[in-house]
Amino acid sequence: MMQGKEKLFGRPTSRIDGVAKVTGAARYASDEPVAHPAYGYFVTSSIARGSISAFKLERAKAVRGVLDILTYENVGNETQPPKGPDGGPTTTTLESNRIWHDGQIIAVVVAETYEAAREAANKVDVTYAEEQPSASFDSPGAESQPHKPQRGPDPKKGDAANAFAAAAVKFEAKYATPTQHHNPIELFTATCAWDGPKLTIYEPSQFMWGTKNSVAAQIKIDPDHVRAISRYIGGAFGCKGPNPRTAWVAIAAKRVGRPVKLVPTRDQSFTIATYRAETRQHIKLGASADGKLTSLSHEGWEVTSRPSGYSVAGVESTARMYACPNIATAVNVVHADRNTPGYMRAPPETPYMFALESAMDELAYELKMDPIELRRVNDTQMDPVTGLPFSSRSLMQCFDQAAAKFGWANRDARPASMRDGEWLVGFGCATACYPSNMGPAAVRLSLTPDGKADVGLAGHEIGTGAYTLVAIAAARSLGIKVDDVTVRMGDSDLPPVMIAGGSNNAASAANVVVKACEELRRRIARAAVTSADSPFHGTEADNLSLSDGKLVDPTGKSEPLSKAATRTGHRLEVYAENIPEGLPGTAVADMSKGKPTMLGGAGRKDVSAFAFGAHFVEVRVHSRTREIRVPRVVSAFAAGTIVNPKAAYSQFMGGAIWGLSSALFEDTEMDLGSARYINDNLADYLIPVNADVPSVEIIMVSEKDERVNPLGIKGIGEIGIVGMNAAVANAVFHATGKRVRELPIRAEKLL
Amino acid sequence: MRPFVFERAADLPQAVKLGAATGQGETDAPTQFLAGGTTLIDLMKLEVLRPQRVVDLGPVRASWTGIDFTPSGMRLGAFAKMSTVADDARVLSQFPVIAQSLQLAASAQIRNMATLGGNVLQRTRCPYYRDPSWSACNKRVPGSGCAAIKGFNRNHAVLGVDDTCISQYPGDFAIALIALDAQVELTGPEGSRRIPFASLHAPVQSQPHIETTLKPGELIVAFQIPAGAWTRRSLYLKVRDRASYEFAIASAAVALALDGETVREARIGLGGMAYQPWRSQDAERMLVGRPLTESGAAAAAAAALKGAMSHGNNDYKPELARRTIVRALLEAKALQVTGGAS
């Protein structure tokens, strides 16, 4: 009998790993002690396109302590080229002398110390055959082509072009979002150690089984011989998946016959990993005079590398936000001499919802309508593209609760009408959304004789509170204390779970853990009803549940768990797998081969599954010098069952702050002539400091979702960032009367 | 980073002796003095500065950290921490522009490490200078060209630049010093001397690798800031992308002596705008003897930016600078100043 989910979740719980993290006891990948390591250091290209004509390594090799230098000349044929984030081709590194992008890894120096490796790396002399690179959209030589949709054709319905032509009110505009980088504080480290044929990799990975399989495939060894370990991850945000770097560290370790530890620099991290590509977007909205949408067209252009067709294609989400009978979408990729982009917190929605939610605000002004009311008249409980019901959708509850708390009623709708001394004041709002995904998962759960639980799964603690979430799910299901659950994660020797992406972890992990706990309860209960020494002998096993450290029946009769459990043996162990309905039966097997599958959003056949939210922002723009400051934010989200409100609050708040950052600060700037990044460090790549976010209030709107998954959990890791950039831009317009359609919004755009 | 000799100077005379090879104001001289280290260590890690010898001034510091007031002004030891001076109540009330320029600079952590003397010698933040993988930078490699002129130059200078370098002086404190006619006390192999702060930094003059007028072995030991009727009515206005821990995209250090509505004396320093710490005496002259009005301030601001030269991404700067000056002047005018002169 599955216990009521209300009983399972919803109590604010402090992180079980919090003390370890703040005291430094938590061991991150590069903290793992390995015996007698050598140290690696990357050499990266200083051109964006061309080839290497020659290496001169004499000066580098003369540095004391240098053990080896890997280049395409000595190791180029030792790996299979890596796969891009879409599974397709991507840029290479040491495989050949080809340079695809600025800062490409072209050599690995291995030395006795980090300092020697770094000094030698700086003394590697490279001669290039340089070619003129294309940096971005407008660069000569950049090639645009329609993207290849990953899941069927881009959303389309009715006849958007004709409906637009016939619309009573029309609005049309172009928007742009910049290149952005994740910049997790923990860098992209990798430590590789061989023991005979077996390889252990310590690396921050948000997909343990993916890292294991991809490195094995790249260096052509049996994946069973590879173990990936990453017990804690200092921020991932999408950039810490399988990658082309680690294989070279493994090869280096084999060549020098000892473990190799490699910690790249911050500026290298801008080019050796993925990023959020810049986009351009074109939106057309047609509406009736009372604000009902009659036509929505959304087309996007995204930059990618030369070989990769990777796109985020956020029209998959924007097409489903509002009721509209005529929808047309398209996405194009623009190939330039850049590294391949990849997932970054809400990869599709962050850029694409900026355009849609800015356009909705602009349309509201055209219609002389309150922007909340425009969302209300176009709200729907049915996916406008497929006609399927949303598993649940509480968008307007989010708007109404956040608006009340924010004081939206105090807004004077006229642009540039509100003022506080020398500061112009603006209010803005926007919709947030994110698909509710779930993936396959496996777990091993044991109950020890002292009545405590041990849960093992190859999950990923990327800072979201994953250990605690698993502990809560197990503790509540088994009727024991959170402190009595030991959670082991971050090791590919544990049962596989999905990549920590698409906000799937809470739903995937909680559902499989609860399933394992139920199996465990069933075994204890069955042993009890068939044992003469049990108070439940001869009763119905399904009537027994676990609560408060006891096995109990509905009459209140009970037996201590420690007694009930030992009846089945010294230690009771359950292995469970869970595959969400709609995914193939091979999903766990595929995942264990490094192939992730996930179901959610508009990919389901029964419902359309999304979480929704609303952001409200107050901005202040100085009337003379035009600095933009954001004194307060109120955001509301409805995301089904909240497992741990304490962690959830932080997730939502962190997301909203990052959204603010994506509106006002973040922009990886380029030297367009050379296609090289300019501000590749944390001093010049701006993110908000505390003084930039004085007040962020989060409302968790209660929502019961019976259809999204058995526990009603929608992921919350990414929704917080979505739409925030538009809310800020909308508030800036309200404050100044100036519409900025190209992020980030900075003082010079308002002069 | 590469190997280098690290020496600790026991006292000032030894420091001057050990530093005799600090070069004639070159940015990458073979010997570098180490005070707070907040610029030097960064640039060494980046391989921008490659000294063969680093002379640690640690033991010298204690004798040069004073904040002393005399009837004629204030003397600040060059080894005082930025945070110490920023937090000093007397500095804040008598020379608000000095305290504010320090308070608004960098982060609390950096202000607790960095010294005043090191701060005024802070190197430019030009990304092409700070990353040796760019081959063209006349400041780093004389004669190699300037990648910023046709490159990304959003926060590059528009005043005092030439076609060899458009890098921007990034500091705040120096803007207040130059506005207030500060003097710099130096000690070197040939003894001590005093120079106007305005002549400490070398103009670009086609040799951007020469950054100061300091002679080999010379150390800044103190700053003297004269008091005047204008010093209390002073402020530092810093316009920047985020609220803290960020360099200015425009800033103004202003000080006013008012006679009713009429300006008796005016001082205007301009930051985030020029190749070196910048004072606009043209603008000051336009204000003196007249009532300070919005249009008067705007005219002065226009004069301050005369001759500004932008290169694309920094085209916004002159307009932002004019607005910054106007705002700073009007805010200074509105200040409630108590005690002493207006």
Tokens for A383?
A: 């996916």
Which residues 6+ apart lie within 8 Å of A396 measured at CB?
A375, A376, A379
Beta bridge partners of A50: A99, A130
**Which pLDDT value is given to residue A572?**
93
Q: Which chain A residue is nearest to residue B248, measuring alpha carbons? A: A627
Radius of gyration of chain A (CA): 27
Which chain A residues touch B244 with a CB distance below 8 Å?
689-692
Give A66-97 pLDDT, tens digit per residue.
Answer: 999 999 999 999 999 889 999 999 999 999 99
Which chain A residues touch B246 with a CB distance below 8 Å?
686, 689
Which chain B residues touch A686 with a CB distance below 8 Å?
241-242, 246
* CA angle centred on A589, ends A586 and A595, rounded to 5°: 95
**Which pLDDT value is given to residue A2?**
44
> A432, A440 in Cβ contact below 8 A?
no
What is the tally of helices (H) and strands (E) in chain B? 12, 12
As averages over each run of 10 residues, the pLDDT of chain A (751 residues) reads 61 96 95 97 98 98 98 96 91 97 98 96 97 97 95 94 98 98 97 98 97 97 98 96 96 98 97 98 98 98 98 97 98 98 98 98 98 98 98 98 98 98 98 98 94 96 97 96 97 97 97 97 96 95 96 95 88 96 96 94 96 98 98 98 97 98 98 97 96 97 96 97 98 98 98 96
Q: How many CB atoms lie within 10 A of CB B155?
A: 26
Reported pTM: 0.97
Q: What is the dihedral of CA A496, A501, A507, A511, to 10 degrees?
A: 0
The answer, for B1 touching chain A at a CB cutoff of 8 Å, is yes
Tokens for B78?
A: 């060059």
User: E strand or H helix at A295, and its extent?
Assistant: strand A293-304
**Which pLDDT value is given to residue A6?**
53
pLDDT above 90 (res B77) = yes
Q: Which chain B residue is nearest to residue A115, measuring alpha carbons? A: B1
Q: How many CB atoms lie within 10 A of CB A706?
A: 10
Q: Which chain B residue is nearest to residue A120, measuring alpha carbons? A: B2
Tokens for A77?
A: 């044929």
> A732, A745 in Cβ contact below 8 A?
yes
Q: Can you tell me whether residue A315 is helix, strand or coil?
A: helix
Closest Cβ opposite residue A678 in set B127, B245, B327: B127
**Which pLDDT value is given to residue A300?**
98
Interface test with B, best of A265, A625, A632, A669 (most B CBs within 10 A): A625
- Cα–Cα distances in Å, from B254 out to A598, B174, B341? 60, 13, 16
Residue A132 DSSP symbol: -
Angle between helices A349-367 and A724-736 (to 10 degrees): 30
Pairing of strands B278-279, B262-271: antiparallel
Q: Nearest Cα to B304, choosing from B254, B261, B238, B237?
A: B254
Give B86-140 pLDDT, tens digit per residue.
Answer: 999 999 999 999 999 999 999 999 999 999 999 999 999 999 999 999 999 999 9
Tokens for B10?
A: 């026991």
Q: Can you tell me whether residue B111 is helix, strand or coil?
A: helix
Give B59-76 pLDDT, tens digit per residue.
Answer: 999 999 999 999 999 999
Give A499-545 pLDDT, tens digit per residue.
Answer: 999 999 999 999 999 999 999 999 999 999 999 999 999 999 999 99
Tokens for A392?
A: 């649940």
Closest Cβ opposite residue A122 in set B47, B154, B323: B47
Give A226-261 pLDDT, tens digit per residue.
Answer: 999 999 999 999 999 999 999 999 999 999 999 999
Angle between helices B317-334 and B294-304 (to 10 degrees): 140
Which residues 6+ apart lie within 8 Å of B153 measured at CB?
B166, B311, B312, B313, B314
Q: Can you tell me whether residue B188 is helix, strand or coil?
A: strand
How would residue B1 be classed by pLDDT, with cut points 50, 70 and 90?
low
**Which pLDDT value is given to residue B90?**
97
How would residue B11 be classed by pLDDT, with cut points 50, 70 and 90?
very high
CB pairs under 8 A between A and B: 83
Catalytic residues of A: 718
**Which pLDDT value is given to residue A247?**
98
**Burial category of A21 from C-beta neighbours within 10 Å (exposed 0-12, middle 13-18, buried 19 and up):** middle
Interface test with B, best of A44, A657, A672, A678 (most B CBs within 10 A): A678
Q: Which chain A residue is nearest to residue B325, measuring alpha carbons? A: A625
Which chain A residues touch B324 with a CB distance below 8 Å?
624-625
The answer, for A590 touching chain B at a CB cutoff of 8 Å, is no
Q: Which chain A residue is nearest to residue B106, measuring alpha carbons? A: A683
Beta bridge partners of A390: A608
Q: Is the dihedral of CA A60, A61, A64, A65 positive or negative?
A: positive
Which residues 6+ apart lie within 8 Å of A58 measured at CB?
none
**CA distance linking residue A706 with residue A268, whole number of Å:** 46
**CA distance linking residue A316 with residue A601, whole number of Å:** 9
Closest Cβ opposite residue A669 in set B150, B152, B243: B152
pLDDT above 50 (res B41) = yes
Closest Cβ opposite residue B242 in set A122, A679, A692: A692
Which residues 6+ apart lie within 8 Å of B260 measured at CB?
none
Which residues, numbered 156 to 215 in chain B, qualify as contacts with chain A under a Cβ-Cβ cut-off of 8 Å?
Answer: none
Beta bridge partners of A226: A199
- Please provide the DSSP assignment of B113-142 as one string: H-BHHHHHTPPP--TTTS-TTS--BTTTST
pLDDT above 80 (res B340) = no
Tokens for A67?
A: 């053990």
The answer, for B334 touching chain A at a CB cutoff of 8 Å, is no
Pairing of strands A143-146, A226-229: unpaired
pLDDT above 70 (res B342) = no
What is the tally of helices (H) and strands (E) in chain A? 19, 32
Terminal C-alpha separation, chain A: 64
**Which pLDDT value is given to residue A151?**
79
- Please provide the DSSP assignment of A677-715 as one string: ES--STTTS----GGG-S-EEEEE-----SSSSTT-B--
**Which pLDDT value is given to residue A3?**
47
**CA distance linking residue A241 with residue A230, whole number of Å:** 12
Pairing of strands A628-638, A670-671: unpaired
Q: Can you tell me whether residue B75 is helix, strand or coil?
A: strand
Mean pLDDT, rounded, of chain B? 96
Q: Nearest Cα to A579, choosing from A597, A601, A564?
A: A597
> B247, B218 in Cβ contact below 8 A?
no
Q: HSE on the CB side for B320, CA within 13 Å? A: 31
Which chain A residues touch B241 with a CB distance below 8 Å?
627, 664-665, 686, 746-747
**Which pLDDT value is given to residue B341?**
46
What are the φ/ψ torsions at residue A415 (nearest 5 degrees)? -60, 145
pLDDT above 80 (res B338) = no
User: E strand or H helix at B82, and its extent?
Assistant: helix B82-86
Closest Cβ opposite residue A673 in set B151, B239, B241: B151
Beta bridge partners of A677: A670
**Which pLDDT value is given to residue B327?**
98
- Give the type of residue at A528: A
**Which pLDDT value is given to residue B21?**
78
Q: Say if the Cβ atoms of B150 and A673 lie within 8 Å.
A: yes
Which chain A residues touch B245 with a CB distance below 8 Å?
689
The answer, for B239 touching chain A at a CB cutoff of 8 Å, is yes
Give A445-488 pLDDT, tens digit per residue.
Answer: 999 888 899 999 999 999 999 999 999 999 999 999 999 999 99
**CA distance linking residue A580 with residue A600, whole number of Å:** 10
